[in-house]
Amino acid sequence: MNYYFLESQYPRSGFISGGTIFVPELETNYLAVDDLLPEETRAEVELLSSVRRLKVDYFETTTGTRVVSDDFKSLLEQRSTGVQFIPASVSYHDGRTVDGSYWIAHRPDRLDVFDYERSEYGRKAVIAASVDQPPRKPVNVVSRIWLREEAIDGHEFFELAYVNVRTPIVSEAFYEICKKHKLKLHIMKVEDFNR
């Protein structure tokens, strides 16, 4: 089966992003948060000035949050993803509110499915050895990614564990469902990843 990274760079709309503020304010940088957020947490997302009209169902912010539309959230809730959904108010740079409901997709499942043998990455010998001899060293520099598909075990929306690539991955089957629901998503095959 094919797997895809979700992208924030859209062919016609360009790069969709912005900044996120959490209420109540987080005690640390969002990217360092591994636990669930308190239930009362809300988010405010301000889009970059280059975004004139938001017409997509997924984008990432410069602060590392993954923003999903209400329609995308509904499909994700029908699957086992481990995602905590945080309500988000999204506005344009000039203060106008974006139509529709949006959510922060916080903490999707992180799967240990990175193929250490076939993938290309920095410090390969040291990192690959740490898989069997803890402590586990993270992969920070990646040029080519391959997945151990047998270890994915039916997951359809996830991130890579121990790899410094925070972009969610979707299965081909789930992406086809999203297309049937006319969600506006942009993807890149995992095998086409090249930094």
Q: Dump pLDDT digits (tens) for 21-80.
A: 999 999 999 999 989 999 999 999 999 999 999 999 999 999 999 999 999 999 999 998
Q: Which residues contact 173 (CB under 8 A, 6 or more apart)?
A: 1, 156
Q: So where are the chain's domains? A: 3-112+142-192
Q: Is the pLDDT of residue 12 over 90?
A: no
Residue 163's SS3 state is strand
Q: For 145-182, how does the pLDDT look when each residue is reduced to its tens digit (9 = 90+)?
A: 999 999 999 999 999 999 999 999 999 999 999 999 99
**Four-CA torsion 67, 72, 78, 82, nearest 10 degrees:** -10
**Backbone angles phi and psi of 4, in degrees to 5:** -135, 145
Q: Is the pLDDT of residue 195 over 90?
A: no
Q: Is the pLDDT of residue 130 over 80?
A: yes
Number of Cβ atoms within 10 Å of the Cβ of 179: 11
